[in-house]
DNA sequence: CGAAACACGGTAAACGTTTACAGCAATGCG
DNA sequence: CGCATTGCTGTAAACGTTTACCGTGTTTCG
């Protein structure tokens, strides 16, 4: 773990100047003899370029940060899984920030762009505050936001269309004959929470169903919280016949509680989740879910950022990824999805 | 996105030398008046320290790399989720490397330590080759390996005890009366594959059951692959009454195939997975699984690395994390579905 | 054959910090 | 009052690269 060789060590060994060493290492035109000597010396000494010194001079770190609330959330994970290879292929390293949904942490990340340890940032803010917007306006490196920001924010923006997503789910449930469709949402001051709440109301309108406040319950985007919210909802509105859940974790919580309450899914209550995570396919019963294209959003964000890193200044772009509904057992016809004969 | 202010800009603005600016910024003793001027100037200009220049001088990047095959794998994810906050609390950033289980990529990561863009590395190699060992011996930064390495490898090492883990599972299945217990394993040239294969054989011996090659099927550590392997196994040995799966994804594949084949779980075939991931609790039926303490291993690795970064040279340490069995429906009594009070 | 063009390679400055060292003013003390 | 001590501050070197610029030796061509 000694203090590895530097360009100077090599220069001495090869009997040339450090400039020549640098040139050889960067593939700039050099006499064959010099090249040979330098490469030989580098090889013998096991030389590896110091990335920090390089970055200082070149003002490029070849690192990109990805900041989201929690890697454990499968929706973010899906993004990460797409972002990583795209960056890697372009020669960038990925610096991961978990902000635990704490606004101050997100602001911190934006602020730390000034430290210039990354060339750019992809961020999925849970809520967008005034502080976010100020920081974004003066950010010291290119930023791509996944989630909605106001029109005039000077950053690239990738959005899901949860409005259409909720609409797809409600159309589906309506087509199944459900009329008392509840919404189990996350906090309304979060970007997804607000969007999904509004979309729900709108979709009901389009279907000619009344908006009934009783049918809406706010919890948080986690399984246990979702379960609690569903329990409260069942208590208040026993005749609910379908649940639109604002994400898959909430939906899993819903399944837990419905099972404990002796309601059959989907016969008594149909359930639709959102994000179409791995968990949806693995759950019991398997969970219908609206895919908001997490993976596609991740990929789009990475590509936007790389494009900007490569070509510099240009108009901010907006990419909207279309949703689609994946129907599984939790809202299929009873048992239709699964072979019969399996009790347990 | 302009060229932010530097220490020099501030020095001019405050009418002091760059040394004084640096001292103030680092909290070294300074006359109050100077301090005031510097802080005022820094504030007005929105100064942020350049991390790259800082690292070059201090030879510390405050970054740590974590390299594993695939973030999508819940076992690695569990590690990541523990590692991240530990590092963050200690002031380190996390650089993520996905190696896609390609040996060359792993070697690459080890080699790139020479670039000194991180202060240390936590790696989960899928297989440990000669090349790994050579690189580890000459690594230019501290490394912690999660998984087994030979005794004399000069790195900190965190191990799971899959031997005991498999033993727990087989004892459990044996206690349920199962006698034809199959093993669905991943490739034998991987660290976990080899360990689990050997452990299976040993545990059978301890239980007085014969080792029957027919009952062992090798696939890969993924759901679809696992399914294929199970299908082959069922075909060859129709009277198998329990499946020990080398990880949870394989076990999910097993559930898929068993369901399609009309075998009831757990009545006809009991299934036990390994790693106790989120998926196990969410699956249908919920999956018994041997927890190898992924989260604990992640935490231990992070702590070992931080310790070494803080205190420098010392003996390599070995930490072994004990496994435990989590019994759920797939090997419980028929229909014994417990509502999981689990968050996620 | 001499001048111009060219191909290489060395010197030194720069990137933005930290820090050893020296300078200098103010203070303490004999 | 002079000297040592103390407390700050400035100068400059260093971290390991890249690169502009210039000098040298060789080639080319009139």
The distance of A56 to chain B (nearest Cα, Å) reads 6
Read off the tokens for A309. Answer: 């890193």
pLDDT at A338: 42
CB contact under 8 A, A95 and B98: no
Q: Is the pLDDT of residue B337 over 50?
A: no
pLDDT digits (tens, 9 = 90+) for A103-138: 999 999 999 999 999 999 999 998 899 999 999 999
Q: State whether residue A288 is helix, strand or coil.
A: strand
The pLDDT-based confidence of A230 (bands split at 50, 70, 90) is very high
From the list A96, A115, A256, the residue facing B339 with the nearest CB is A256
Predicted TM-score of the model (pTM) = 0.90
Report d(CA A178, CA A170) in Å as an integer.
Answer: 9
Please give the structure tokens belonging to residue A263: 């309601």
Structure tokens at B118: 């991180």
Task: Tell if the CB–CB gap between B52 and A72 is shorter than 8 Å.
Answer: no
pLDDT of B79 > 80? The answer is yes
Helices (H), chain A: 7-14, 18-25, 32-45, 51-58, 74-89, 103-112, 130-137, 162-175, 191-206, 223-236, 248-260, 278-282, 294-311
Long-range contacts of A145-150 (CB under 8 A, 24+ apart): A146/A79, A146/A122, A146/A297, A146/A298, A146/A301, A147/A191, A147/A192, A148/A191, A148/A195
Specify the long-range contacts of residues A277-280, CB closer than 8 Å, at least 24 apart. Answer: A277/A74, A277/A75, A277/A77, A277/A78, A277/A248, A278/A74, A278/B279, A279/A74, A279/A248, A279/A249, A279/A252, A279/B278, A279/B279, A279/B282, A280/A248, A280/A251, A280/A326, A280/A328
Is any atom of nucleic acid chain D found less than 7 Å from the CB of residue A3?
Answer: yes
What percent of chain B stands above pLDDT 90?
A: 86
Residue A15 distance to chain B (closest CA, Å): 23
For residues A77-83, give the mean pLDDT: 96
- pLDDT interval class at B78 (50, 70, 90): very high
Among candidate residues B167, B135, B157, the one with its CA nearest the CA of residue B244: B167
Where does the pLDDT of residue B2 fall: very low under 50, low under 70, confident under 90, or very high at 90 and above? low
Residues 6-25 of A with CB under 7 A from strand D: 6-8, 18-19, 21-23, 25
The pLDDT value recorded for residue B171 is 97
Indicate the average pLDDT of chain A: 93
Please state, in angstroms and as integers, the Cα–Cα distance from residue B23 to each residue in A170, B6, B29, B34, B57, following that order.
62, 14, 7, 10, 15
Q: How far is the CA of B100 from the C1' of C6 (A)?
A: 49
Compute the nearest-CA separation of A9 from chain B (Å). Answer: 15
Q: Is the pLDDT of residue B319 over 50?
A: yes
| Res B38 pLDDT > 70 | yes
What H or E segment, with its residue span, contains residue B168? helix B162-175
User: B-chain residues within 8 Å CB-CB of A52?
Assistant: 52, 55-56, 61, 115-117
Per-residue model confidence as pLDDT tens digits over A14-43:
999 999 999 999 999 999 999 999 999 999
| Residue A20: DSSP 8-state | H
Of A71, A94, A139, the CB nearest to B81: A71
pLDDT(B211) > 50: yes
Percent of chain A with pLDDT over 70: 96
Distance between CA atoms of B322 and A115, rounded to whole angstroms?
41
Structure confidence by residue, pLDDT tens digits, B97-141: 999 989 999 999 999 999 999 999 999 998 899 999 999 999 999
In chain B, which residue's Cα lies nearest the Cα of A50?
Answer: B115
Residue A257 has pLDDT above 90, yes or no: yes
CB atoms within 10 A of CB A12: 13
| Closest partner CB to A286 (pick from B115, B284, B334) | B284
Rounded to an integer, what distance in angstroms lies between the CA atom of residue B183 and that of residue B181? 7
Average pLDDT on A73-99 reads: 96
Those residues with Cβ within 8 angstroms of residue A261's Cβ, 6 or more apart along the chain or in another chain: A231, A234
Determine phi and psi for A29, rounding to 5 degrees: -55, 130
How far, in Å, CA of A268 to CA of B91, rounded?
A: 51
Taking contacts as CB-CB distances below 8 angstroms, the residues of chain B near A311 are none
Q: For A198, how many CA atoms within 13 A lie in the half-sphere containing its CB?
A: 12
Mean pLDDT of A245-264: 94
The overall average pLDDT reported for chain B is 93
* Cα–Cα distance, A253 to B282 (Å, whole number): 10
Q: Which residue has the higher pLDDT, A339 or A108?
A: A108
């Amino acid at each position: 773990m000694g203090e590895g060789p530097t360009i100077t060590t090599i220069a001495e060994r090869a009997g040339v100047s450090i400039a020549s060493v640098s040139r050889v290492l960067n593939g700039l035109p050099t006499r064959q003899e010099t090249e040979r000597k330098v490469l030989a010396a580098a090889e013998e000494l096991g030389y590896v370029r110091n990335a920090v010194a390089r970055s200082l001079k070149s003002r490029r770190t070849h690192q990109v940060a990805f900041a989201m609330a929690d890697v454990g959330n499968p929706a973010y994970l899906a993004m990460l899984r797409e972002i990583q290879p795209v960056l890697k292929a372009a020669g960038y390293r990925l610096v991961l920030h978990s902000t635990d949904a704490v606004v101050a942490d997100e602001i911190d990340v934006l602020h730390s762009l000034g430290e210039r340890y990354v060339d750019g940032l992809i961020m999925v803010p849970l809520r967008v505050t005034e502080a976010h917007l100020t920081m974004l306006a003066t950010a010291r490196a290119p930023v791509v936001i996944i989630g909605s920001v106001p029109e005039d924010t000077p950053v690239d923006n990738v959005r899901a269309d949860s409005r259409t997503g909720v609409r797809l789910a409600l159309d589906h449930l309506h087509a199944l004959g459900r009329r008392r469709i509840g919404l189990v949402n996350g906090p309304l001051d979060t970007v997804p929470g607000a969007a999904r709440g509004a979309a729900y109301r709108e979709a009901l309108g389009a279907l000619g169903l009344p908006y009934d406040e009783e049918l809406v319950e706010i919890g948080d985007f986690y399984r246990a919280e979702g379960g609690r919210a569903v329990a409260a909802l069942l208590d208040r509105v026993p005749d609910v016949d379908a649940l639109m859940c604002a994400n898959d974790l909430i939906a899993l919580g819903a399944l837990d509680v419905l099972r404990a309450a002796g309601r059959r899914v989907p016969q008594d209550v149909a359930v639709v989740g959102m994000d179409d995570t791995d968990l949806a396919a693995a759950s019991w019963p398997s969970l219908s879910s609206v895919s908001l294209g997490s993976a596609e959003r991740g990929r789009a964000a990475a590509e936007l950022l790389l494009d900007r890193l490569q070509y510099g200044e240009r108009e901010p772009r907006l990419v909207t990824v279309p949703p689609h509904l994946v129907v599984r057992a939790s809202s299929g016809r009873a048992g239709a999805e699964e072979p019969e004969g399996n009790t347990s």
